[in-house]
Structure 1
Amino acid sequence: MPVKAPAREQIPFRRSLARLAPEARRIIPRLVAGLGVGLSASVLAVLVPQVFRAIIDTLLRAGATPSAVVSAAVVVLIMGVLEALLTFLRRIFVLDPATNVEASLRVTLYRHLQLLPVSFHDRWGSGQLLSRAMTDLNMLRRWLAFGAIYLVISITTVIVGIAMLFTISWQLALIFLAAAVPISIYSFRFRRQFVAASRRSQDQAGDLATAVEESVHGIRVLKAFGRSREALENFTLQAEELRATEVTKARHLAVFSMVVTLLPELALGTGLMVGLWLAATNQITVGALAAFFATAAAVANPVEMSGALVGMALTAKTAIDRHYEVRDEPVSIADPKEPRRLARPRGALAFRSVRFAYEPSRSRSAERKDDGARPVLRDIDLELVPGETMALVGLTGSGKSTLLQLVPRLYEVSGGSVEIDGVDVRSLALSDLRRIVSVAFEDTTLFSTSVRDNVLLGASTREGPEAEALLQEALDVAQAHFAYSLPEGVDTRIGEEGLSLSGGQRQRIALARAIAAKPAVLVLDDPLSALDVATEERVEARLRQVLAETTTLIVAHRPSTVALADRVALLRDGVIDDVGTHSELLARNSHYRYVIASLDTAPRDLDSELEAGDLDDLEEAR
């Protein structure tokens, strides 16, 4: 199971925002326009109290006429309509570009995930990647379209409003401003607490998504072994951890909102008493007093919203950090600067002093860090001539599957080289290499599309008569004729990961996919384990006919597969112990005889057994 996403050091907000600048640069004009009209609307809101001041002072003068009230009302109405129009334009300006940035970041992240090596995906849970691609970027879009713009508008409104308060009465303005001191002090504490809780929450959400995905994919196993209750309990614990973190976030935000709401209100209450005394002593006019509190109310609203806005900004900052954690992962397996080409690959495959060790897991403690660097393969020297079929056998954990994955560069050799036709595979473009080499794994992965699309996934052509002929041939070689009896034939959608099919059916579709690619080198990781011996023999016979010039390296877990190979390589503790024909190795190698004796003699299609629901027979099979 993939480990949880590694924890990272805290990054300053300014640095996180700078990472987003290249993506947001092209929408800056629209954002600036949205900010401009938003600021204009905010300034209008602050100016309205000044109209009230003029109305009140005018009416209190001797000889005031009703026409002054009408004129002021018209001015206020015009200002209100203009403010509403500017607010509408702000949304129009920023919504579309914000969604474009979200889409661009999502596509870029997906592209990077496709380029990252398999070792990266071994370390990361799929739910963590899913939450970064969906939830985090959705939050980032909402912050760009609303939070960031409104935060700047709120700050500007407060600054302009306080400046206007000072023009009305510096005594009252000082009282109101005094509330900002404890708010500023508490803001530093709030930021530290909220950032930590926000990061923990988003990581826990990713882990929870991973748990859901694993449970859905493994639902048959959970049901078959009666472990649904345990899975629910574990999920409940994770969900409770996330709930507790969300409550902690809400508590921090609630306390901060209380502080930024209560202190200005207390300042206004104090200011009211002082203001009445100032008005009574004729130090300010009644209109000025009314304008002061109307302006203070306009300023208090963005102050009260500052908690939510700051929280949204900090959550967006965490989303940016999580996004670029993945984007910063190096693409360690990439095309060479000057790739070589094999015009007509013959399929000669050679391993020259190959060594390989998995990368140390980042989740391990420092004292165990060197455990991941122990070599899995050591000094592998092996050659396959074009058109040869070689079986690779060995006990579990000897490194068979790992060796196969070095051929298409799913993993990179730690030392030595893998060569095709005398050319190091690292000298070939990945697209060319993976056209030359085709792979089928024991643990088959199919996509939620039609049988046709799955089989022709790696084919050079996917439409037209040539593709149809290729499809029929591949299904015939893999003995996957059952595809034609599905409800819609080869156009039947097979469901997520092909779970609507049995294990043996999935293996045959996966084998057909590898065959349809017409490779020069075919790498098979025991893809026939769920087939009966007779079907396996037919598949092997057809493979020899159709792919007579294809070099095949196959991990074998059954004697019947071994016997059909031209030669056999015995892998023992990460080294090649012996190479020869099946008969030769039986005669001279005692470890080979032990390995052969330990191999399965019959297939087991667990999926079919579980689909039938015959758990009693399954218990007997154990």
Structure 2
Amino acid sequence: MPGHGRGNATTAPTTTKPRSHTLKRLVKYILTDKLRVAVVIIACGLATTTMVLGPKIMGQATNVLFEGVISKMLPAGTTKEQAIAALEANGQGSMVDMVSSMDIHPGQGVDFGKVAMILGITACVFLCTVTLRWIQGWTLTRLVSNAVYRMRQQIEAKLDHLPLSYFDRVPRGEVMSRTTNDIDNIGQSLQQVLGEFIFALFSIIGTVIMMITISPLLLLISLIVIPFLLAAAYFIIRKSQPYYIRQWDATGKVNSQVEEMFSGHMVIRAYGQEDETIDEFDRRNRELYDSSFMATLIAGINMPVTQFFGNLNFVIVVVVGGLKVLSGTMTLGDLQAFSQYSRQLSQPLGQLSSMATILQSSLASAERIFEFLDEPEEVAEREHTQDIKDVKGLVRFDHVKFSYDPAEPLIEDLSLEAKPGQTIAIVGPTGAGKTTLVNLLMRFYEIQGGSITIDGVDTRDITRHDLRQHFGMVLQDTWLFDGTIRENLLYGLHEGETISEERMIEGAKACHVDEFVRRLPDGYDTELKDETAELSQGERQLMTICRAFLSDPDILILDEATSSVDTRTEVLVQQAMNHLREGRTSFVIAHRLSTIRDADLILVVNHGSIVEQGRHEELLAKGGAYANLYQAQFANGDNIEED
């Protein structure tokens, strides 16, 4: 879009905020749905309870089996005391200690009925665990999906309230990356982390409680490795976080490059810049690869470290526990249960460490999203606003001041008046501020001094939405959207407004649209996709004119609407625009001066000031800036003819 003082779009900087601030803000999206949060926590707590009971129950089955085997080894028909006395007499002290701690009957053997009952109870407990985990997972999926949905809604609302200066500054690919890739990463990470985090936390608590009931000594031994695990996790998080931030920043740059390559592929080929473009893409892709590789490499250290300390802990527990079994101070079933709990304790500790590294990626994306949501919005509407009815189209600029950059003033003291029904043409060199005037009129940017009024009402006293309802725009860029031709033509209708099929076709005929639409197989129901390859540039431009015509605006803006069509098509476009301008106040930004010779007033703008104004013949007679522009186009062979 033409304009003065606006630089090329650059990647939005990512500001680093404290991790805790970003995490708290992210958690708020989850806590909004309190009912589902409660269901997840309750289901997780119950699932943990049933899970930690499993090893203890299985330990009872082991005790029954082991005691049955030992009892079978003892002489039948004797009492436990007699069997112990016989073992003492034979010098089997270790067996004496074990048998003394067992509830056995010599010669009885294994009670398989009791074993089957215990295994049945264990199966029921594990089934409950699986069911509760499924409830937790299903609820959590809905919880995270709703949170991401709300986040997307906020982003959509934010897009509608950002000033144009943001889109001038930030590449489209970067915006798309933040609103798609980063959101997806947050959703996937939260889905993966939240459920496991809650379950791991409950598992640690439940496991520790069960370990205390079995052997406080072995529990203390097991807890020795925790400081080492925490230190390793802290190191990994600190080292991986910068790379995750770089990874998602690099993703935004790659997306911007791809969008640029796609949109400008014809220009790239026309100027033979394929190799340079590929080199630039390779450079950005390498940045993404390097940051992703390092983030994954450092995060990958977590699992081996966790497994090492977990295995070391298991070995120590088994050795010490074995000695306690031999001494009769612990049963074999309790040792088995404790060994399982030791594994269960190591696993959630490792999961917490792994989830912490995954969370870093999510927080990096969240920072980018929150930075986007915190971007300054358009200036707030005034407290008391009004709507304007029956607009006549009297437009006044009164001592207007504006600049894109405070250090580079653009419009310092501009005044003009457009009377109802007049056509005001605005011409001037590139960067003179032509498009800026209509952007200020529609409040895409806010003036910094003076006033702009429509029928005597200051535009700042009208909400942007209500103000823009009175305008129709035809731009140089022929934006058509995915959908049918019919939907595109009716796109400019106000909310709740409808028109008949006959009225639509009448407007299409007036704008020379009907004649080429009739040639299409599906007519007005033709689907437009892939930049409407089936339509020429001129046909697309005629459609945008028809879209504005059917919206029946009070004030019309035509911004370089014929600059990208050939001379033959320009005749049709000009006829359609003349029809559209009838009875409306119109502002025409023109490059081809031949298209504005019949304008009621021509403004020659340069450096944000009106240097000349008048009708076509008057300005030519002055021999000033307009005459120079006119003669320059004539010398270049543009199609300009005197009446």
Residue 218 of structure 1 aligns with which residue?
A: 264
Map Cα deviations across residues 436-467 of structure 1 (whole Å, 9 max, x no partner).
12222112322122222222211348986535
Matched, 1:246 2:280: no
> Following the alignment from structure 1 to structure 2, what is the Cα–Cα distance between the partners of residues 231 and 313?
34
How much does 1:33 deviate? 1.2
How do residues 141-220 of structure 1 correspond to structure 2 at under 5 angstroms? 141-220=187-266
**Residue 77 of structure 1, aligned match among 104, 123, 130:** 123
Distance 1:38 1:194, change over 3 A: same
Asked whether the 8 Å contact 1:479–1:539 carries over to 2, the reply is no
- SS of the residue corresponding to residue 569 of structure 1 reads strand
Partners of 2:14 and 2:466 lie apart in 1 by 37
- Which stretch shifts more, 85-94 or 471-480? 471-480
* 1:596 lines up with 2:630 in the alignment: yes
Question: What displacement does 1:107 show?
Answer: 2.2
Q: Does 1:579 align with 2:613?
A: yes
Q: Are the counterparts in 2 of residues 442 and 525 from structure 1 also a CA contact under 8 Å?
A: yes
Match of 1:11 among 13, 18, 37: 18
What per-residue deviation string (whole Å, max 9, x for no partner) do you get for residues 15-43 of structure 1? 32432455434422212212222222223
1:528 aligns with 2:562: yes
Distance 1:93-1:559 versus aligned 2 partners, 3 A rule: closer
Instruction: Tell me the equivalent position of 2:524.
Output: 490
Look up the match of 2:40: 34
For 1:481 and 1:378, locate their aligned partners in 2 and report how far apart those are by CA, in whole Å.
Answer: 47
Report deviation, 1:602. Answer: 6.4
1:276-355 matches, within 5 Å, as 276-355=322-401
How far apart, in 1, do the equivalents of 2:261 and 2:544 lie? 23
Q: Does residue 558 of the first structure (1) align with residue 592 of the second (2)? A: yes
Render the CA deviation track for 1:292-314: whole Å, top value 9, x for unaligned: 11111122222232333222322
- Give the stretch that moved more between structures: 420-429 or 229-238: 229-238
Aligned match of 1:382? 416
AA aligned opposite 2:608:
G
CA distance in 2, matches of 1:260, 1:242: 28
Larger radius of gyration: 2
Partners in 2 of 1:399 and 1:480 — Cα distance? 36
Structure 1 contact 445–498 (Cα < 8 Å) conserved: no
CA distance in 1, matches of 2:301, 2:192: 23
Over aligned residues, Cα RMSD in angstroms?
Answer: 2.6
Over 3 Å counting, the alpha-carbon distance change for 1:167 and 1:77 in structure 2 is same
Note if contact 2:313-2:342 (Cα within 8 Å) is conserved in structure 1: no
**Structure 1 letter corresponding to 2:60:** A
1:165-224 CA distance string (max 9 Å, x none): 233233322222111112212322322233322222122222222222222222222233
Q: 1:479 to 1:534 in 2, by over 3 A?
A: farther
- 1:458 alignment partner in structure 2: 492
Structure 1 pair 464–337 and aligned structure 2 pair: CA distance change class (3 A): closer
Q: Do structure 1's residue 477 and structure 2's residue 523 form an aligned pair?
A: no
Identity value in percent:
26
Deviation at 1:390, TM superposition (A): 1.6
CA deviation after TM superposition for structure 1 residue 519, in Å: 1.5
Q: Which moved more, 1:464-473 or 1:516-525?
A: 464-473
Cα 1:460/1:270, change in 2 over 3 Å:
closer
Task: Evaluate the alpha carbon distance shift between residue 268 and residue 348 of structure 1 in structure 2; reply closer, same or farther with a 3 A threshold.
Answer: same
Q: Distance between the aligned counterparts of 1:465 and 1:340, measured in 2?
A: 27
Q: What SS class does the counterpart of residue 479 from structure 2 fall into?
A: coil
CA contact under 8 A between 2:310 and 2:343: conserved in structure 1? no
Partner residue in 2 for 1:362: none
Q: CA deviation at 1:407?
A: 1.4
Q: State whether residues 12 and 170 of structure 2, in contact with CA within 8 Å, keep that contact through their aligned partners in structure 1.
A: yes
> For residue 437 of structure 1, what is the aligned residue in structure 2?
471
CA shift for structure 1 position 251: 0.9
| Map of 1:609 onto structure 2 | none
Amino acid at match of 2:402: F
1:275–1:206: structure 2 CA closer, same or farther, 3 Å change rule? same
SS in 1 for 2:417: strand
Going from structure 1 to structure 2, the CA distance change for 1:474 and 1:460 (only over 3 Å counts) comes to: farther
| Aligned residue number for residue 426 of structure 1 | 460
Q: Hey, what does 1:366 align to over in structure 2?
A: none
Q: Partner residue of 2:9?
A: 2
CA contact (8 A) 1:352 1:416 kept: yes
Kindly tell me: are residues 290 and 534 of structure 1, through their superposed partners in 2, closer, same or farther at Cα, counting changes over 3 Å? Answer: closer
Matched, 1:548 2:582: yes
Q: How high is the TM-score relative to the length of structure 1?
A: 0.88
Distance 1:245 1:461, change over 3 A: closer
Q: Deviations over 1:548-597 (max 9, x none)?
A: 32111111211212312122111112211121112222222433222223
CA distance in 2, matches of 1:172, 1:12: 36
Deviation at 1:400, TM superposition (A): 0.9
Distance 1:400 1:498, change over 3 A: farther
TM-score (norm 2): 0.85
Structure 1 residues 377 and 479, CA gap change in structure 2 (3 angstroms): farther
